Structure 1
Amino acid sequence: MAHTVLQKGKIIARVRRIKGQMEGIERALETGAACGEVLRQLASARGAMNGLTAELMEDHLQEHVVHAKSEQERQSGGQEMVDVIRTYLK
Structure 2
Amino acid sequence: MTHVAAEKQKLLNRLKRLRGQIDALERAVEADVECARVLQQATACRGALEGFIVEVIEDHIREHMVDPALPSADPRAQAAEELVAILRSYLR
| Fold conserved between structures, TM > 0.5 | yes
Structure (1 or 2) with the greater helix fraction: 1
Residue 3 of structure 1 deviates from its aligned partner by 2.1
Aligned partner letter, 1:6: A
Aligned to 2:18: 18
Task: State the aligned residue count.
Answer: 69
Residue 66 of structure 1 deviates from its aligned partner by 1.1
Aligned to 1:74: none
Structure 2: any 5+ residue segments left out of the alignment?
69-92
Aligned to 1:33: 33
Structural RMSD (CA): 1.5
Query: Of the two structures, which has the highest relative contact order with CA contacts closer than 8 Å and spacing of 6 or more?
Result: 2
Aligned to 2:3: 3
Structure 1: any 5+ residue segments left out of the alignment?
69-90
TM-score by length of 2: 0.70
- Within-5 A mapping of 1:69-80: none
Q: Distance in 2 between matches of 1:15 and 1:35?
A: 25
- Within-5 A mapping of 1:52-63: 52-63=52-63
Q: Distance in 1 between matches of 2:6 and 2:58?
A: 15
